[in-house]
Amino acid sequence: MKRIIVASILALGLGGASAYAGGFQVPEMGIKAMGMGNAFTAVADDPSALWFNPAGISFQHGTAVTVGSTVVFPKIDFTTTGGTPYAMSRDAVAIPHAYLAHSGDGSRISYGIGINSPFGLDVKWPTTAPFASSAQYGRLKAINFNPNISYRFTDHLAVAVGVDYVDMYRVDFNGTALPQNFHGDGWGANVAAMYHSDRFSAGISYRTSVKINAKGSSTLVAASATSANAINVTEPDMLNIGVAVRPDADWTVSAEADWVNWKRFDQLAFTYSPPLPVYGSSITVPENWKATWAYRLGTEWRFSPKMRARFGYTYDPTPVYNPDFTPLLPGNDRQGLHVGYGIDLSSHATLDLAYMYMWLKDRNQTESTGTNATRNGTYKATLQLAGASLTYHF
């Protein structure tokens, strides 16, 4: 069993993932957390704590492994100002994750590693869409490797530190006139703390931004000219703050506020060598995103000794200002309803399931100008997510 689980971790981690989500963040990095609206920073009681709040592993026992995946089912439609409809590709996208956590009996030191894909993108419009020449296909595939170590100062207080290595191994920002792809990697860090007692817990987790230095190629189709490109892409820094209360042994209620500093994603600046015809030696695409706060609520009800039901709600505003809107990230303010279920299959194994329905406020885009005026129109979107994971305790 141990060899099978370790092999599964490696397979999931190396597989990577991509998906359309708020901005290009994918918060659903744990199935138990997903069932609780991702309000998990102050709960953090399974191995996915390594992402949500690594200090939480100090209050777990023994060695445990979680492997799982979330599948995203997008539905995004665009109607031009003249009334012509277009639909984005509705192919489902899988987002796997894996975690290994160890907390030795009597030891104040715990450690573990998470492998996941918290940022990703997969958006494909028809080549006949009016904006397709500049924004037809967007894909971002990245794997995050995140080892952590946690130290428990007292029976109730622990802190953790970790390192993030991000391998952004495939990115495409394509228009039919200028396909561009690149890959790169970068490093970041994280720090977290947790106070935990039987009836109350509080947690805080901070992750630094990660600057990806990337290289690839760009092709100007009309001139049949290809050039090497270079670009820097910055993943935002994040701060998660949460509290949880347990009025009795059967109920947990949690609330959380998550800050994402999307100001880091201010532009995409390509440089070309040799220079491309028409475009020259560089192109700069302004993004000018804003930092956002997302708010989450979650609850878990242990309705039998072996089974739990979970419910959650999310409100997550868009970081994109109207003048800088792109159909490759066609989001708007969004809300989500979550449900989840957990069952102990044995004294060692737990199965978690979750479902999320997310609806986005209609975007009535009117502020795209110049050659981007073809992006104006109405965007309607809903997302459905379903996930499952297995946790095994040694």
Residue-wise pLDDT for 203-240, tens only, equals 999 999 999 889 999 999 988 999 999 888 888 999 99
Residue 235's CB: how many other CB atoms inside 10 A?
27
The pLDDT of residue 252 is 97
Gap between the terminal Cα atoms of the chain: 10
The pLDDT of residue 205 is 98
Mean pLDDT of the chain: 89
Sign of the CA dihedral 296, 301, 302, 306? negative
Burial of 153 (0-12, 13-18, 19+ CB in 10 A): exposed
Residue-wise pLDDT for 4-28, tens only, equals 333 333 333 333 333 344 567 788 8
The pLDDT of residue 37 is 96
CA distances from 121 to 33, 101, 206, 315, 330 (A): 21, 28, 23, 20, 11
